[in-house]
């Protein structure tokens, strides 16, 4: 668990204003995730928290009652690997704030770079995702991540917990051999070795800095100037937050774990871990958690089984390895596709992950892995009221999320797409006329005889 001193005050979980008025969702099938599914049950929310759950839950006087008969209530989904709010248009550099220049940037805090007005946030929220771990990706030592709510006026409003983890983008251990990579193999090896040298030096410098701070106040020891770069690493060095290694290939994972052993790192999380299925016993023995995903993709190696990404979550669960699913977060376009998170879990369920585990993999499991399992991830009294109302199973693409609540507040279900749909659905249209056309030889079998056409040849004014 992350130490309470490192968590942002729970009051920040509520975007802007906490509403004292109670809201009761009645008559629903409530999927608590941490316990049994409750039929014809009620969920009461007040002051941003869940205050009552159950078939006999009492509705406070004056509460707003929302009938959910025939509907389902689920906890909000958590994307544990995202650049949402950090990237708007991947091809426009000015809208990309997830990568700073330089290799060593431990002082970067992803959550303060969030754009609360991102058009992508309502789109992701529309599909039941209520919070996300936003991650920096620049250089080798990228900085720290923050867990945010997908609603709020400022990043302070949105932040749930920070820092959550210190992120290392482990370099490729084997040079890429393809015509699209202009770097020669020898140059790639030199770049890899230089990145690893800088990483080792950064940890050595941070430890020296930590030692110097600890010595202050002793006889003859002068005061040292604070350095935000090395200050940011102390939480990870002390084991208060995990070091999150972004490593996909087996040789990357093994090299990262060797580095962790050399540095004496106490808490490790593997992000990505495409080849984690090749070392399940070691990961289990070392109690290393994995943030897996995405599953909606094919393997990169031509000789691998087509279902390798889809089957990985099921293998992690069967091996007893702590894990959760994410939407990827490795590319800029993952922000725009963040709405697909429940379908990542649905695909994992189709390839060996038990259905209840698939739901937990994007609710309770990421909450626990990120240190907020006592606040998010399930429908329990005392937890933050992040909920969704649906007309079916949200892991199925045919299901509609009808309403989302974040910290007990109903959020707008409008997105840029819905606004454009309604705008053009209501566009002025010219009157239609029937034009009889007769063609020589035309008759009952003619496709043009008596056809209805729209005057103007286009169907709408511009």
Please say if the pLDDT value at position 2 is more than 50.
no
Q: How many domains are contained in the chain?
A: 1
Closest CA to 34 of 409, 306, 359, 371: 359
pTM, to two decimals: 0.86
Whether 29 is covered by a domain: the verdict is no
CA distances from 425 to 119, 186, 224 (A): 21, 57, 65
Question: In this predicted structure, what is the pLDDT of residue 201?
Answer: 97
Question: In this predicted structure, what is the pLDDT of residue 383?
Answer: 98
Average pLDDT over residues 307-317: 97
CB 16 within 8 A of CB 153: yes
Whether 26 is covered by a domain: the verdict is no
Cα 50-51-54 angle, rounded to 5 deg = 90
Please say if the pLDDT value at position 209 is more than 90.
yes
Please say if the pLDDT value at position 371 is more than 90.
yes
CA distances from 121 to 159, 209, 218, 329 (A): 14, 39, 50, 14
**Where does the pLDDT of residue 180 fall: very low under 50, low under 70, confident under 90, or very high at 90 and above?**
low
Chain-centre distance for alpha carbon 396: 18
CA distances from 251 to 265, 273, 276, 431 (A): 19, 11, 11, 66
Whether 448 is covered by a domain: the verdict is no
- Between 429 and 450, the more confident residue is 429
Whether 63 is covered by a domain: the verdict is no
Question: In this predicted structure, what is the pLDDT of residue 439?
Answer: 52
- Residues 244 and 221: their CA atoms lie apart, in Å, by 34
**Where does the pLDDT of residue 182 fall: very low under 50, low under 70, confident under 90, or very high at 90 and above?**
low
Q: What is the pLDDT of residues 229-239, one digit of tens each?
A: 999 999 999 99
Q: What is the pLDDT of residues 240-276, one digit of tens each?
A: 999 999 999 999 999 999 999 999 998 999 999 999 9
Task: Write out the residue range of the structural domain in which residue 352 sits.
Answer: 77-176+184-371
Whether 310 is covered by a domain: the verdict is yes
Q: What is the pLDDT of residues 21-77, one digit of tens each?
A: 899 999 999 999 999 999 999 999 999 999 999 999 999 999 999 999 999 999 999
Question: In this predicted structure, what is the pLDDT of residue 237?
Answer: 96
Tokens found for residue 307 = 């279902």
- Between 306 and 97, the more confident residue is 306
Whether 127 is covered by a domain: the verdict is yes
- The beta strands (E) that lie in 302-392 are given as 323-325, 387-390
Average pLDDT over residues 379-397: 98
Strand, helix or coil at 59?
coil
Whether 385 is covered by a domain: the verdict is no
Question: In this predicted structure, what is the pLDDT of residue 332?
Answer: 63
Question: In this predicted structure, what is the pLDDT of residue 324?
Answer: 98
Residues 6+ apart with CB under 8 A from 91: none
- Residues 56 and 37: their CA atoms lie apart, in Å, by 14
Whichever domain contains 285, its CATH number is 3.20.20.140
Whether 50 is covered by a domain: the verdict is no
Average pLDDT over residues 440-457: 43
């Amino acid at each position: 668990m992350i130490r309470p001193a490192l968590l942002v005050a729970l009051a920040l979980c509520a975007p802007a204003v906490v509403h004292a008025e109670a809201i009761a969702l009645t008559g629903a099938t409530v999927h608590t995730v941490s316990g049994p599914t409750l039929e014809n049950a009620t969920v009461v929310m007040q002051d941003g928290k869940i205050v009552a759950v159950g078939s006999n839950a009492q509705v406070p006087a004056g509460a707003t009652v929302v009938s959910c008969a025939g509907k389902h209530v689920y906890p909000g989904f958590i994307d544990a690997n995202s650049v949402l709010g950090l990237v708007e248009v991947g091809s426009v550099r000015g809208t990309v704030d997830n990568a700073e220049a330089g290799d060593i940037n431990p002082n970067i805090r992803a959550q303060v770079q969030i754009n609360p007005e991102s058009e992508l946030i309502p789109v992701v929220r529309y599909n039941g995702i209520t919070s996300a771990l936003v991650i920096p990706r620049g250089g080798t030592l990228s900085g720290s991540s923050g867990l945010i709510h997908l609603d709020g006026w400022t990043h302070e409003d949105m932040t749930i917990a920070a820092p959550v983890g210190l992120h290392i983008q482990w370099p490729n251990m084997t040079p890429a051999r393809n015509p699209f990579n202009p770097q020669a193999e020898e140059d790639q090896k030199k770049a890899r070795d230089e990145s690893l040298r800088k990483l080792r030096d950064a940890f050595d410098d941070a430890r020296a800095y930590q030692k110097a701070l600890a010595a202050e106040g002793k006889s003859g020891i002068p005061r040292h100037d604070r350095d935000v770069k090395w200050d940011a690493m102390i939480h990870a060095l002390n084991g208060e937050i995990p070091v999150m290694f972004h490593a996909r290939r087996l040789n990357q994972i093994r090299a990262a774990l060797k580095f962790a052993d050399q540095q004496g790192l106490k808490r490790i999380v593997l992000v990505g871990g495409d080849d984690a299925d090749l070392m399940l016993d070691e990961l289990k023995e070392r109690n290393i958690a994995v943030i897996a995903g995405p599953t909606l993709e094919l393997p990169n190696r031509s000789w691998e089984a087509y279902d390798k990404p889809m089957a990985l979550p099921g293998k992690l669960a069967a091996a007893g390895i702590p894990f959760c699913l994410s939407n990827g977060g490795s590319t800029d376009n993952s922000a725009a596709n963040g709405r697909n998170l429940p379908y990542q879990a649905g695909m994992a369920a189709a390839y060996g992950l038990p259905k209840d585990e698939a739901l937990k993999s994007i609710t309770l499991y990421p909450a626990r892995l990120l240190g907020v399992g006592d606040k998010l991830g399930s429908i329990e009294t005392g937890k933050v009221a992040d909920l969704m109302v649906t007309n079916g199973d949200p892991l199925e693409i045919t299901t509609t999320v009808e309403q989302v609540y974040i910290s007990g507040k109903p959020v707008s279900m409008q997105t840029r797409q819905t606004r454009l749909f309604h705008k053009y659905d209501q566009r002025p249209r010219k009157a239609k006329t029937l034009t009889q056309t007769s063609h020589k030889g035309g008759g009952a079998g003619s496709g043009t005889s008596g056809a209805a056409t729209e005057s103007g040849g286009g169907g709408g004014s511009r």
